[in-house]
Amino acid sequence: MRDLYLFNKGSLYHSYRTFGAHPIRLADDYGVRFTVWAPHAREVRVVGDFNHWQGERHAMERIGETGVWSLFVPNLVPGTVYKYEVHTSAGELLLKADPFAFLSELRPNTGSVVTDIFNYDWNDGDWQRRKQEMSPYHESMLIYEVHLSSWRSWGKEMFWTYEEMAEGLVQYVVEMGYTHIELLPITEHPLDMSWGYQVTGYYAATSRFGSPKQLMYLIDRCHQQGIGVILDWVPGHFCKDDHGLRLFDGTPIFEGTDWKRAEKPLWGTLAFDFGCTEVQSFLISNAIYWMDVFHIDGLRVDAVASMIDLHFDKPPEMLTYNTFGGTENIEAIRFLKRLNETVFHYYPDALMIAEDSSSWPAVTSPTYMGGLGFNFKWNMGWMNDMLRYMALDPAERMRHHNLITFSLVYAFSENYVLPLSHDEVVHGKRSLLNKMSGSYDQKFAQLRLFYGYWMTHPGKKLLFMGGEWGQFDEWKYDEALDWQLIGYPKHGSMHHYVKSLNRVYGEQASLWERDCDPGGFEWIDVHNAAQSVIVFMRRGHGEHDFSVIICNFSNQHYPEYRIGVPEPGQYRLALHSEAAAFGGALAHMQEIIYSSKTAWHGRPCSLTIDLPPLSFQLLVFASGEHGRSERFSALHGLM
């Protein structure tokens, strides 16, 4: 009864241990215990293939005034398909999937399936220990965003399994130099077209790719290879399918009674009632569940802006206000704070990443300082500004120079991830490559330049699959990526460039050690709008650990371009986007550049470099007395 008391109070944070279908032994009988919350139901029965979907003999017992129903059914085994037959107070009969089901039938079937998920033998102890020793703010974070259905497939709706992904996907991610995989939602959902964002089974890994333990194997393999796993998590809304959460006991217990707040007209879904304590237990437990049972390393929390704004995407007739007359969803804000506090209580090293397009302040500040309590937030402003800038004709860019510089005004106001996500390559927005202005060859040059600036700008990084070789078409959710393009010279060279850029990023601590520290970034030249050139430095923790980045966003060649640098000595060229091996025009480049004593850009020394049009260069300070270092081998070793 204590568990149910905590559930009703919104504080049962491991409610999946109590609710759902659990194979157990009761006295001398083996069977399954079913437990469900349906506070306004007149009666609830368990039905399934074991009783020919006739529930007369399997009516559940209501437990006091908790709104919870439970029943032990002997002789049932994992693999049993079931639903709850809910008799409403209005006399309706509903067939509902279990909100806490750990496995669902493969769509279009909608039954819940009994399974035992609590005895997987994990082999990721080294990874778990290493996580405890790391601070994500001071580590490299290069996230590969993946939609499992369309990363690879064997044909129409012939998906790779979790186990196949555990070999092919993990090996690819390691080879490419990513640090994390972010999976688009893999919770059970009925419609492929939703990409997983309209959920019916929050505790069920989708059956499209196999069993829950096969998913655990995929995550286990990632960890054994040093790859973190982030789950795209959707607590903001759920779909309206009859077997799901909508009107679960004949009344709106998950979505709340105010239809103006519940309806999400943009997506045709329903918002959770964040003020309901049982909903809080359900959702917060779900976040803990994925970390506890599946060893997920973090959550990318979807659509935070839509949760905290009562007017988000609402027509005039649906506008509501909070008790103070404002538009903030006070209950959702309190929920998010409690969610983050609870997650970090149990998993201090978790990643909680807000996908938030609003200007809400202190999203990544601790709750005790008035923040929402996330530790990272997507930087949507940087992304929108830069994609707009890169679509401009280079001749127009001098009048829009602020688009590439404004982000540094607020770059350290939050702990940011710079996302180049799936949302930017669908619905007529065109692929990243096809967003670039200019001719076919210029599009590739510009994408290399853009990636270079993205990788060296403060903030952690995320790239959606296919972007690494410059997929030309938009992402298609129901088809595999265009892997054959890697065999074409331009796309193959782009793939090689991204792999090299990823590796240089991982090797150069100056590019990520101080991502969240204003001292980790310095402008050298921010004002050269006339030539559309920017020059800046990234600094690591070491006194002499810094990199110099030069971006030429114009289509003009500047053969002797002088830049100021802070120290005399050798500067090594770690990466050049115009190298021939990357599809550029330069077969030979000066690898070592010596500074002169000519002061420039307010610095005591300077370098003179050749600056091709639409190019990115990364120089690393090496000092005069140091010999060649392995950390600078990327330019020759990967080309």
Looking at residues 445-467, what average pLDDT do you find?
98
For 88, phi and psi rounded to 5 degrees? Answer: -85, 165
Give me the architecture of the 2-113 domain, per CATH: Sandwich (2.60)
Q: Is the dihedral of CA 48, 51, 54, 55 positive or negative?
A: negative
Angle between helices 162-176 and 212-224 (to 10 degrees): 20
Would the pLDDT of 160 be above 70? yes
pLDDT score of 631: 39
Looking at residues 221-244, what average pLDDT do you find?
98
> 457 with 385: CB under 8 angstroms?
no
Q: Which of 263, 302, 513, 578 is catalytic?
A: 302
pLDDT score of 244: 98
pLDDT score of 543: 87
Render pLDDT for 107-157 as a digit per residue (tens, 0 to 9): 999 999 999 999 999 999 999 999 999 999 999 999 999 999 999 999 888
Euclidean distance between CA atoms 169 and 152, whole angstroms: 9
Q: Is the dihedral of CA 493, 498, 499, 505 positive or negative?
A: positive
For 612, phi and psi rounded to 5 degrees? Answer: -70, 165
Looking at residues 28-47, what average pLDDT do you find?
97
Q: Checking DSSP bridges between strand 416-420 and strand 460-464, what pairing results, if any?
A: parallel
pLDDT score of 632: 39
pLDDT score of 156: 86
Q: Residue 481 — very low, low, confident or very high, per pLDDT cuts 50/70/90? A: very high
Is residue 586 exposed (0-12), middle (13-18) or buried (19+ Cβ within 10 Å)? middle
> 468 with 499: CB under 8 angstroms?
yes
Would the pLDDT of 334 be above 90? yes
Which uninterrupted H or E stretch holds 444? Answer: helix 440-456
Ranges of each domain in the chain:
2-113, 519-637
3 state SS of 316: helix
> 237 with 272: CB under 8 angstroms?
yes
Single-letter amino acid code for the residue at 94: L
Of the candidate CATH numbers 2.60.120.10, 1.10.10.10, 2.60.40.1180, 3.40.50.620, the domain formed by 519-637 belongs to 2.60.40.1180
Q: Residue 618 — very low, low, confident or very high, per pLDDT cuts 50/70/90? A: very high
Euclidean distance between CA atoms 202 and 235, whole angstroms: 9
3 state SS of 1: coil
Is residue 257 exposed (0-12), middle (13-18) or buried (19+ Cβ within 10 Å)? exposed
Render pLDDT for 277-289 as a digit per residue (tens, 0 to 9): 999 999 999 999 9
Q: What would you report as the CA-atom Rg of the chain, rounded to the nearest whole angstrom?
A: 27
Euclidean distance between CA atoms 229 and 127, whole angstroms: 11
Average pLDDT across the chain, whole number? 95
Residues comprising the chain, all counted: 639
Is residue 355 annotated as a catalytic residue, yes or no? yes
3 state SS of 26: strand
pLDDT score of 27: 87
Render pLDDT for 52-93 as a digit per residue (tens, 0 to 9): 999 999 999 999 999 999 999 999 999 999 999 999 999 999
Is residue 302 annotated as a catalytic residue, yes or no? yes
Tokens encoding 291: 């970390």
> 304 with 336: CB under 8 angstroms?
yes
Would the pLDDT of 201 be above 90? yes
3 state SS of 564: strand
pLDDT score of 157: 86
Which uninterrupted H or E stretch holds 331? Answer: helix 330-346
Which uninterrupted H or E stretch holds 408? Answer: helix 407-410
pLDDT score of 623: 80
Q: Which of 263, 297, 331, 355 is catalytic?
A: 355
Tokens encoding 57: 């003999």
Using CA atoms, how far residue 499 sits from 150, 252, 495, 566, 575, in Å, is 21, 50, 6, 30, 12
Is residue 492 exposed (0-12), middle (13-18) or buried (19+ Cβ within 10 Å)? middle
State the distance between the two ends of the chain, measured CA to CA, in whole angstroms. Answer: 65
